[in-house]
A and B are shown apart, each in its own frame.
Chain A
Amino acid sequence: MGASNKPVLWLPFAAGGMLAALALPALVAVVLLDSLGRLPGGGLDYARVSAWIGNPWIAIALFAFVSLVLWHAAHRLRMTLQDLGVRRPGARRVAARLCYLGAGLFTFVLGYQLI
């Protein structure tokens, strides 16, 4: 049997899925409340947000969170595309490359921006 690439794909998939499940609804809700002008306190204004991002620990945590969530979604989206009819081997390969290269590209942009 050949070596499987599956554990390499699954570990970040599971980690990203767990992080998204635990933290994403609250994050989306806070940003949405800010967009509606309903956030008590200072809101997400430039001084506050850039001070958070300037903290290296927050930057590293944010990098890990966003990149793992993105990887999770890219992997699941690739599998869902197969379920929705992208089944021929060539088309499956294209879908996989689009999902993983897209996630990789945005992870690079994220890392470049944060670190």
Chain B
Amino acid sequence: MKTQSFQPQLPTFWWLQRGNYRRYMLRELTSLPIAVYAVWLILALLRLGQGAEAWAAFRASLATPAAIGLQLIVLVFAVVHSVSWFALAPRTMPIYIGTRRVADAWIAAAHYLAWAVLSVLIFLAIGV
């Protein structure tokens, strides 16, 4: 039996039509640079496994203007991801004490605090 299904028609650039659609698409599109960076990290580990010379060549390739530009883009999108993720956290993980719901601002603040502490620890562990 052939069933007729409703095919909704959306314009290709529907997500440019409103401010909150644009913010939504910006948030969702953080996935692309983050995926690229995750693959980049895996390639880095492959090069590391090939020895000191391969690692030095990989590090030199990261210092080219194109690679630095790409890393800057990833950094901006990674921060957008963090901020948008923490903004959603009170809604995706509401916390109740007894029957009272913990205020959104407290949940967001706890995430920002964890972000700050972990960032400092990462910098101290591998940066210095």
> Which residues of A line the B interface, CB within 8 A?
14, 17-18, 20-37, 39-41, 44-46, 49-50, 52-53, 62, 66, 69-70, 72-74, 76-77, 79-80, 83-85, 87, 103, 106, 109-110, 113-114
User: With A77-B35, A83-B15, A113-B49 known to touch, is A29 a contact of B75 (CB < 8 Å)?
Assistant: yes
Across-interface contacts of B46 in A (CB, < 8 A): 109, 113
A73–B31 touching, CB < 8 Å: yes
Which residue on A lies nearest to B62, using beta carbons?
A35
CB-contact partner of A36 in B31, B63, B79, under 8 A:
B63
Q: Total interface residues on B, using CB and 8 Å?
A: 50
Are B72 and A50 in contact (CB-based, < 8 A)? no
| CB-CB contacts below 8 Å: B30-64 with A | 30-32, 34-35, 37-39, 41-42, 45-46, 48-49, 51-52, 55-56, 59, 62-63
Whether A79 and B68, one on each chain, are in contact in the complex, defined by CB atoms closer than 8 angstroms, is: no
Partner of B71, one of A14, A28, A73: A28
Nearest CB in chain B: distance from A22 CB, A:
5
Specify which chain A residues have a CB less than 8 angstroms from the CB of B42 in the assembled complex.
66, 70, 106, 109-110, 113
Q: Which residues of B contact A20 (CB under 8 A)?
A: 34, 78, 81-82, 85
7 more contacts with CB within 8 A, not counting A27-B122, A46-B56, A74-B35, are A20-B82, A21-B85, A36-B63, A66-B38, A73-B38, A74-B31, A77-B32
Shortest Cβ distance from residue A72 to the other chain B in the assembled complex, whole angstroms: 7
Q: Which residues of B contact A24 (CB under 8 A)?
A: 34, 37, 78, 81-82
Known contacts A53-B48, A113-B45; decide if A25 and B67 are in contact (CB<8 Å).
Answer: no
Q: A40-B127, A41-B127 are in contact. Are A25 and B79 (CB under 8 A)?
A: yes
Is B63 in contact with A76, judged by CB distance below 8 angstroms? no
Complex: how many Å from CA A37 to CA B60?
11
- Measured between beta carbons, the chain A residues less than 8 angstroms from B95 are none
